[in-house]
Amino acid sequence: MPCDLILALDVPTRADAAPILRSLRGSLRWVKIGLQMFTACGPDCVREVAGHGFQVFLDLKLHDIPHTVAKAVESLAPLPIGMLTLHTSGGREMMVAARAAQQQAKPDLLLLGVTVLTSMDAAALAEIGVSAAPDAQVARLARLATEAGLRGLVCSPREVQLLRTQLPAEVQLITPGIRPAGEAGLDDQKRTLTPAEAARVGANYIVVGRPILKARDPAAAARLILAELGSGERLKG
């Protein structure tokens, strides 16, 4: 399966989003709505993005007691979303409850477990009491998530190849922390790869925000990234 592109629509208002969405129609299929937009605009921004013809990845990283997370999944299920995130560090019981709620309320929704944020490195993990290296912690949480029934994971592209050796082949891997070839600034991302590199190691989707949003021509930037993805053949496992 080829690797696909998801735009991270990290803008402050719906008014900022509208011209970007119009310019990107026909260039890509998926748009990610995160905390910034959802907090500012609520469910209406999800409906608006879907109304532009995009599939929506709602990235809220749910993390609470099992009952609360399950009820949140139920509340979000009527929205036109295809993917939804929760934190794997919430534990097995929380993920099992979320999966049960998703199966009941929206069977075609792909629940994604977030492992270790791409802004975190070994030093950041140590500060919160995790002595494991980032890749070891990612692998531990990924196995827990798949045992709990999740069929997709969010991880750094640098851990994709490792996870492909440890998880069922059908598990979908979604990778932020992507910077196109020649992109200078890494911003707050610390564990990054280029689109072609992510495709080669086995990512199903890559998430890209600022390199598209800040481009003079967002549609052209998206097409360049898609072309770069097409140049990245899968590594043989």
Q: pLDDT of 24-82, one tens digit each?
A: 998 899 999 999 999 999 999 999 999 999 999 999 999 999 999 999 999 999 999 99
Q: Is residue 171 in some structural domain?
A: yes
Q: Which residue has better confidence, 11 or 111?
A: 111
Q: Is residue 236 in some structural domain?
A: no
Question: What confidence score (pLDDT) does residue 149 get?
Answer: 97
Active-site residue list: 61
Q: Is residue 157 in some structural domain?
A: yes
CATH number at residue 129: 3.20.20.70
Domains identified in the chain, total number: 1
Question: What confidence score (pLDDT) does residue 187 get?
Answer: 52
Kindly report, residue by residue over 144-153, the tens digit of the pLDDT.
999 999 999 9
Strand partners, 57: 32, 83
Output the CA–CA distances (angstroms, integers) from residue 77 to 6, 10, 70, 108, 111, in the order listed. Answer: 20, 22, 11, 10, 11
Q: Which residue has better confidence, 43 or 119?
A: 43
Kindly report, residue by residue over 189-220, the tens digit of the pLDDT.
454 678 888 888 899 999 999 999 999 999 99
pLDDT at 224 over 70: yes
Question: What confidence score (pLDDT) does residue 236 get?
Answer: 44
Q: Which residues are within 8 A (CB) of 16 and not within 5 positions of it... i.e. 6 or more apart?
A: none
Q: Is residue 193 in some structural domain?
A: yes
Locate 199 and state its tokens: 């495709």
Q: Is residue 139 in some structural domain?
A: yes
Q: Is residue 43 in some structural domain?
A: yes
Alpha helices for 12-133 (secondary structure H): 14-24, 35-41, 43-51, 66-76, 92-105, 122-127
Q: Is residue 237 in some structural domain?
A: no
Per-residue confidence band for 229, with pLDDT thresholds at 50, 70 and 90: confident
CB atoms within 10 A of CB 77: 16
Question: What confidence score (pLDDT) does residue 183 get?
Answer: 60
Kindly report, residue by residue over 165-186, the tens digit of the pLDDT.
999 999 999 998 787 766 655 4
Distance CA 27, CA 62 (A): 30
The whole domain housing 109 covers: 4-230
End-to-end Cα distance, the chain: 14
Per-residue confidence band for 157, with pLDDT thresholds at 50, 70 and 90: confident
Q: Is residue 235 in some structural domain?
A: no
Question: What confidence score (pLDDT) does residue 171 get?
Answer: 97
Question: What confidence score (pLDDT) does residue 179 get?
Answer: 76
Question: What confidence score (pLDDT) does residue 181 get?
Answer: 65
pLDDT at 237 over 50: no
pLDDT at 9 over 60: yes
Backbone angles phi, psi at 195, to 5 degrees: -55, -45
Question: What confidence score (pLDDT) does residue 2 get?
Answer: 79
